[in-house]
Amino acid sequence: MEMYMMKKLFLALALATVWGNALAETSKLQLTVEARIPSDNFYVTPVSGWGGQVQNMTWQPGTSNLEPLQKTLEMKSTLGPIQGYLEEAAILYSSNGQNAIPLNVKVADKKLEVGSTSKVEVMSATNAAVSKRVTLALEPVKPSNGYQAGQYNAVVNMMFESVAPGG
**pLDDT tens track for 137-151:** 999 999 999 999 999
Q: pLDDT value at position 2?
A: 66
Domains belonging to the chain, first-starting first, are 42-162 (2.60.40.2040)
- Indicate the pTM of the whole model: 0.76
**How would residue 117 be classed by pLDDT, with cut points 50, 70 and 90?**
very high
DSSP string over the chain: -HHHHHHHHHHHHHHHHHHHHHT----------------SSEEEEEGGGGGGS---PPEETTTTEEPPEEEEEEEEESSS-EEEEESS--EEEETTSS-EEEEEEEETTEE--BSGGG-EEEE-HHHHTS-EEEEEEEEE---TT-PPSS-EE----EEEEE--TT-
Whether 74 has a pLDDT exceeding 70, the answer reads yes
